[in-house]
Amino acid sequence: MKAASPWEQVPFIRLLIPLITGILLALYFELPIPHLSQWIILGIPMLLVVHLLRKTSQQYKYRWVFGLLVQLCLVAIAYERTIQFNDFIKASHYSHYLQNSPQVKIQLAEPPIEKKKSYKANVKVLALYNEDSKQWITTFGKSVIYFQKEEIVPTLKYGDVLIAKNKFQKIKAPEQAGEFDYQKFMRYENVSHQAYLKGKNWQFTGENNSRPFYNFIYLLQNYCLETLDTFITDQRERGVAAALLLGYKHQLNKDLQQTYADAGAMHVLAVSGLHVGVIWKLIGILLALLFTAKFAQSKWGIIITLIGIWLFALVAGLPPSVCRSALMFSLVGIGLSLNRKPNPYNVLAASAFILLLINPYILCKVGFQLSYAAMVGIFFLQPKICNLLFFSNKIVDTAWQVTALSIAAQITTLPMCLYYFHQFPTYALLTNLAIIYLASIILISGMALFALAGIPYVSKLVSYLLDTSIWMVNEVLLWVQQLPFATLQCPHFQFIQVLFLYGFLIFGTLYFIQQKPNLLKLALLHFIALLLTPILF
């Protein structure tokens, strides 16, 4: 049997390309195409017919037609899915009924989160009271509400229904070029309006429409936050613990966030694949201790592990990096249960394909882009970087592998970091090598604290380990931040420079692997274009 080509081993990459193309076309044009859904439904039987012809005749000259039709069908599906995901164009969206509507009925989509001067909550707009018809008009849509600080606000719960005055204001676009576009950011969350409500502007109806499952998730998150409040007294360390363990960044000090950014350690605060990997291992060890190692690797063991991973993902708020890693572990787990070893690139592409089908707007999230760019670097570059040096000492070799992983991830995320954050942390390699092991200790001790909080002396010991580890990480990063040239500022990095820099990195990497002079010429050409862009544009 003829061996499958590398391209044939990654079918989801071939499917992902037209899917992303359709999403980008929809985001650019934002125009519904009449009857597109019907054409897609009619196109699927056509695909089946062409597929049958392709199977029955190996001499069929137009076998390529099937592939082309699949690609076009996926572009159309992605386009239609993206257009349909846009809440603002739908007739029942609340933004179309704000005029002559003095009152609104809203439902809290999460418990209120305390800010410095207010409480913030994401809400669903259920209805608006129309002054002309004297009736409530049923609507839908998401918004953000800021409540004036009052004692009653923290007692509100997820699912509570409120009647409030219509204080909605459209989120404004940035006034200056280069400023963070909060309007665009919220648009991809399907949020166009926000409101500030004083105590006299709203009242609780006594109604709660919460879903039991999400209620359980918020109760679990609240238990974890209260556990951290009980055992970690220092605000600085407690904020980092909540962010690192639960993805809950609302308690983080802004100065400390800047310290993590300057030191190149913001990914530590982002719940990511490292967290999911640790949870996978912890659940596996727990199952092996409670039952047997064979059970931990069995189908039921994998199912229990995956349930634990997705439960953690829900508690963490389903950020893109966690969704990506949880999906990848799920796909790998399914493959292992079927005695198959999946191709890592195909698994990565499959996870992106699924996430984009669920939420096309996730493509525009920086966390999604950085997460996948980092994984491509880790899969492709880390083994090659590791092979550059070999150490007989296991400790040194492990440190080198961690360093290689960090280098690989930084290479493939560098252009995006310069474009989105306009700076590069000079000592990121030093930082990651110093804190990666401490971060693992924090994750393990944090999970242990949540599980053992009710056991007196053990919980004190575990919380001391957690608190001390976070304190050490913070101190290391504060020291790195104070070093000369800790960050290289790049305030005007343009999108076209992102393309040129990626071209330079891709062709440069391929040159070192294949040693072909033409690849070096292409790399230098992109580098020259990168340098000339600020002058020409």
* Domain end position, chosen among 210, 226, 254: 210
Asked, for residue 326, whether it belongs to a domain, the answer is no
* 46 band by pLDDT with thresholds 50, 70 and 90: low
The pLDDT value given to residue 21:
93
Element at 175 (helix H, strand E): none
Same domain, 98 and 200: yes
Same domain, 76 and 134: no
pTM recorded for the entire structure: 0.87
Determine the 3-state secondary structure of 337 from DSSP: helix
* 381 band by pLDDT with thresholds 50, 70 and 90: very high
* 49 band by pLDDT with thresholds 50, 70 and 90: low
Same domain, 42 and 98: no
Element at 136 (helix H, strand E): strand 135-138
Asked, for residue 412, whether it belongs to a domain, the answer is yes
Same domain, 111 and 81: no
Query: What range does the domain containing 36 cover?
Result: 11-85
pLDDT tens profile 418-464:
998 888 888 888 888 778 888 888 988 998 999 888 888 899 999 99
398 or 93: which carries more pLDDT confidence? Answer: 93
* Domain end position, chosen among 160, 178, 210: 210
Same domain, 65 and 160: no
Token duo for residue 147: 């409540």
Q: What percent of the chain has pLDDT over 90?
A: 42
Q: Where do the DSSP E strands lie in 14-60?
A: none
Same domain, 169 and 77: no
Question: Closest by alpha carbon to 97, among 116, 72, 125?
Answer: 125
Alpha-helical runs (H) found in 317-455:
320-337, 344-358, 366-386, 394-421, 428-452
The pLDDT value given to residue 65:
66
Asked, for residue 503, whether it belongs to a domain, the answer is yes
The pLDDT value given to residue 161:
95
Token duo for residue 318: 């389903």
As a whole number, the mean pLDDT across the chain is: 86
> How far out from the chain centre does Cα 112 lie?
22
The pLDDT value given to residue 1:
45
Same domain, 184 and 206: yes
* 43 band by pLDDT with thresholds 50, 70 and 90: low
Token duo for residue 111: 């418990």
> How far out from the chain centre does Cα 91 lie?
30
Average pLDDT over residues 89-112: 92
Asked, for residue 461, whether it belongs to a domain, the answer is no
The pLDDT value given to residue 324:
83
Domain count, the chain: 4
Q: What percent of the chain has pLDDT over 70?
A: 92
Contacts (Cβ under 8 Å, ≥6 apart) of 202 = 147, 162, 163, 164, 165
Contacts (Cβ under 8 Å, ≥6 apart) of 362 = 320, 323, 355, 356, 368
Same domain, 62 and 108: no
In one-letter notation, the amino acid at residue 158 is Y
In angstroms, the CA 27 to CA 67 distance is 25
Asked, for residue 476, whether it belongs to a domain, the answer is no
> What Rg value do the Cα atoms of the chain yield, rounded?
26
Q: Which of 36-40, 128-132, 490-494 has the highest mean pLDDT?
A: 128-132
Asked, for residue 528, whether it belongs to a domain, the answer is yes
Asked, for residue 190, whether it belongs to a domain, the answer is yes
Same domain, 49 and 78: yes
In one-letter notation, the amino acid at residue 258 is Q
pLDDT tens profile 209-260:
989 988 988 898 899 999 999 999 899 999 999 988 888 888 888 888 888 8
Q: Which of 70-79, 338-347, 500-509 has the highest mean pLDDT?
A: 500-509
In angstroms, the CA 363 to CA 32 distance is 19
Same domain, 73 and 99: no
Same domain, 26 and 98: no
Same domain, 18 and 99: no
The pLDDT value given to residue 63:
64
39 or 384: which carries more pLDDT confidence? Answer: 384
Count of Cβ atoms closer than 10 Å to residue 218 Cβ: 17
pLDDT tens profile 87-100:
998 999 999 999 88
Alpha-helical runs (H) found in 146-298:
182-187, 212-231, 235-246, 254-262, 266-269, 273-290, 293-296
Determine the 3-state secondary structure of 488 from DSSP: strand
Token duo for residue 418: 């310069």
Asked, for residue 276, whether it belongs to a domain, the answer is no
455 or 319: which carries more pLDDT confidence? Answer: 455
CATH number for the domain including 119? 2.40.50.140
* 497 band by pLDDT with thresholds 50, 70 and 90: very high
Residue 502: C-alpha distances to residues 13, 346, 427, 499, 532 (Å): 19, 22, 22, 5, 15
Backbone phi and psi for residue 109, each to the nearest 5 degrees, phi listed first: -90, 0
Contacts (Cβ under 8 Å, ≥6 apart) of 210 = 157, 158, 159, 160
The pLDDT value given to residue 425:
87
